[in-house]
Structures are given as C-alpha cells and as structure tokens.
Structure 1
C-alpha cells in the first residue's frame, strides 16, 4: 500500500490499505497511510476520518497530526490547521514539510485578512 501510494497509484493503495485494516483495524500506521492516500485523491472527508481514527489510537502520532493539519488547511480551517502544524514544526525542527505547511497556512491567513479589509 505504501509503495502504491508513493507511486501515486491511489486507488490501488487505498484497496491494499483497506484490506490491511480489515485484518487489523487498530493499525495506526495503515490508517495514516490511508489518510495520505485520501489526501492524494482529494477526498478530505475520508482523509479526516483516517487521521482521526489514527489519532484516537495513537494521540501523539506526528504523521497523523501532520495529515490532520493538511486536511484542515485544504478545508480552509486555518485556525484549526495552524496550531497542529506549529506543534509538529516545534517538536521536529528538521521537518521541512511541517515548516512549509506552517508558512503556507500563515500566508493564507494573511491573505484572508487582506481580503476581509478590502471587502470592508
């Protein structure tokens, strides 16, 4: 499933990961991988579900938190996305993906502020 996801064969990856989860539903790793597959398919609802289930099993799983931050960002929930991404970036300063996500969320929040001022 992971190799299929990395090759961007998202439908195949989802099928394989769902089969693994049928055998072991509390596999947080498989849930996180499924979450990233669903992000790749732009199914934010399914991605949110997978990451939420992973976090329920393993509340400190950084990849699950990162995935949830990505879901919130793509959903436009910037106020929910920023603290998640900042926590990951602070816990792992070398994580360039988390640092980039924090920057992108801040830029989006700033752009939203400018739009709000222009509308007023």
Structure 2
C-alpha cells in the first residue's frame, strides 16, 4: 500500500473542502440560513453582492456536500426553500468562531500590517 499516495490524496481532498469553505460565498450563504430556512430570493437579499448564478452554484454545491437541504413545495408556481442540515449548522458554528477570532485580532493584524508596510517603504526587509 502506498501510504504517501494515500496521504497526498487525503491532503488534496482536504484542500478542496477547505477551499470551498473559504471561498467568497459559502460561509455567507450558510450564515444567512442559520436562523431559519429561506427561499432563494430571501437568501439573495441577505447575501449582498451575490449574483443569481453564483447563488445557484453555491446552493447546489452545499446541497451536494450535505450542508443544505432543498425542499420544493407543490404550489403554483413551485416554492423552493433551503435549510441547513446538522452538518451545515456545524460549519456555521466554526465559521462564527473564526469570525470572532478575526474580530478579536483585527486591530493587532492592522498594526502588524502597517508596521510591515512602513518597513518596506523605508527599504527594510
């Protein structure tokens, strides 16, 4: 058994999942759904700047990954509602924790950036 190949495959899979979670829209869409199921246009209004095409793509990916369920109600026209699964709820919890960490350290990060940029402007580094 090729352990190195297996580890590399696992690393690739993790990289792909983490990349999706860290994309521009995934956390924003899941956080919009954290309180209650929403219809497509409700999500679109809650996530400013997202296009209809990108929201459709994001919701399909989240549904495929098992983080969102899609329920179609037999009305005319059909109503579709999206809700988080327990897996999606756990992603939101971790995303909110990461956001709290970023908020806590934002001032320190800004200061470090300014110090670094000032050093670069003076020919240091």
TM-score by length of 1: 0.34
**Larger relative contact order (CA 8 Å, sep ≥ 6):** 2
**TM-score using structure 2 length:** 0.33
Q: Which one has the bigger strand percentage? A: 2
Quick check: which has more Rg, 1 or 2? 2
Q: Judging by fraction of residues, say which structure has more helix.
A: 1
